[in-house]
């Protein structure tokens, strides 16, 4: 894990063609608390885990509204994240002022990526130690992007970053096929399930997570704690296990969902994916 000789400077290559400082910056992202994002054709949901340092302190803000049609969730050095959010807000508002139109997300993301790249090619700078999940809406629909400290950016249907994000990613990988046509409510529910996966046994409460929604006709906003707790209670009372088909009104998942659920229930016990209700599939 420690590659000392070539890692002092971001402008020093290793013989294997790597920039260790950039890779270390990406480690910082992996150490931050989890943030996840998922999108349908018309909506994007961002959610994150908010862990306070101690009982005495408040938790750090990890999701920022950038404009009515763009929001961002961060993982890693929150100070860097705050600075980049401020840059994004500035870009959006300047564009809106000049063109009386919202800045297309795709362009903001490229600008952000180019900004990050600069820090990988100046000896007097360091890379930003934060990964950003950018949720946005433009003429071509809903988008979710991930911006890396390396200056790369990718578009995703769903993604998770930060610590224990692999558990969430696994959940999202199983389910992402349904997201494109998901309803707003199902998307939020999937986000909460994904967040629960990262908690590894801890109880999911609205006080330790933040959920935000953005959609067609719905500006980016944070769901208040009551609403979130209500949603959590609803699916926990129904005893729903994350991968199972939603019994409620989820008509669009229909047969496909049930087939997937059946297959998953077979697989779940073997995976031993650490969820608090690991035993539940057997009951159903």
Applying CB under 8 A, the residues found at the interface with another protein are 97-101, 104, 106-107, 110, 138-140
If the CB atoms of residues 110 and 208 are measured against another protein, the closer one turns out to be 110
Cβ–Cβ < 8 Å for 191, 269: no
Least distance between another protein and beta carbon 142 (Å): 15
Least distance between another protein and beta carbon 88 (Å): 17
Task: Compute the distance between CA of residue 153 and CA of residue 257 in angstroms, rounded to an integer.
Answer: 31
If the CB atoms of residues 55 and 100 are measured against another protein, the closer one turns out to be 100
Task: Compute the distance between CA of residue 187 and CA of residue 246 in angstroms, rounded to an integer.
Answer: 12
Residue with structure tokens 């929604």?
A: 213
Packed helices 105-118 and 78-99: angle between N→C axes, nearest 10 degrees: 130
Residue with structure tokens 């908010």?
A: 50
If the CB atoms of residues 113 and 245 are measured against another protein, the closer one turns out to be 113
Residues near 57 by Cβ (< 8 Å), separated by ≥ 6? Answer: none
If the CB atoms of residues 145 and 171 are measured against another protein, the closer one turns out to be 145
| Tokens describing residue 160 | 């998770």
If the CB atoms of residues 110 and 250 are measured against another protein, the closer one turns out to be 110
Angle at Cα 11 formed by Cα 5 and Cα 16, nearest 5°?
55
- Closest Cα to residue 222, out of 50, 95, 56, 97? 50
Least distance between another protein and beta carbon 152 (Å): 16
If the CB atoms of residues 155 and 276 are measured against another protein, the closer one turns out to be 155
Least distance between another protein and beta carbon 98 (Å): 5
If the CB atoms of residues 110 and 234 are measured against another protein, the closer one turns out to be 110
- Closest Cα to residue 48, out of 220, 196, 169? 196
Least distance between another protein and beta carbon 102 (Å): 10
Least distance between another protein and beta carbon 247 (Å): 40
Least distance between another protein and beta carbon 129 (Å): 28
Residues near 207 by Cβ (< 8 Å), separated by ≥ 6? Answer: 225
Q: Give me the helices (H) in 100-180, please.
A: 105-118, 165-179
Q: Which residues pair with 130 in a beta bridge?
A: 76
In this structure, are strands 158-161 and 209-215 parallel, antiparallel, or unpaired?
A: unpaired
């Amino acid at each position: 894990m420690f590659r000392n000789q070539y890692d002092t400077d971001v402008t020093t290559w290793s013989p294997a063609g790597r920039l260790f400082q950039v890779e270390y910056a990406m480690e910082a992202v992996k150490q931050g608390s989890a943030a996840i994002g998922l999108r349908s054709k018309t909506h994007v949901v961002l959610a994150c885990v908010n862990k306070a340092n101690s009982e005495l302190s408040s938790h750090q803000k990890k999701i920022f509204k950038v404009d009515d049609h763009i929001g961002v969730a961060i993982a890693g050095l929150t100070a860097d994240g705050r600075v980049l959010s401020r840059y994004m807000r500035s870009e959006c508002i300047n564009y809106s002022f000049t063109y009386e139109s919202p800045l297309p997300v795709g362009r903001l993301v490229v600008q952000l990526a180019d900004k990050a790249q600069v820090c990988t090619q100046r000896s007097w700078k360091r890379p930003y130690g934060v990964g950003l999940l950018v949720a946005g809406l433009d003429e071509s629909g809903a988008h979710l992007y991930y911006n890396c400290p390396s200056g790369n950016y990718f578009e995703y249907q769903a993604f998770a970053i930060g610590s224990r994000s692999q558990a969430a990613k696994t959940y999202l990988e199983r389910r992402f096929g349904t997201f494109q046509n998901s309803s707003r409510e199902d998307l939020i529910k999937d986000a909460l399930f994904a967040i629960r996966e990262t908690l590894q046994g801890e109880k999911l409460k609205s006080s330790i997570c933040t959920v935000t929604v953005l959609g067609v006709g719905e500006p980016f906003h944070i769901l208040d704690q009551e609403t979130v707790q209500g949603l959590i209670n609803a699916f926990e009372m129904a005893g729903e296990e994350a991968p199972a088909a939603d019994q409620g009104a989820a008509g669009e998942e229909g047969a496909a969902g049930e087939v997937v659920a059946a297959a998953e229930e077979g697989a779940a016990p073997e995976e031993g994916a650490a969820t608090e209700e690991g035993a539940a599939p057997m009951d159903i």
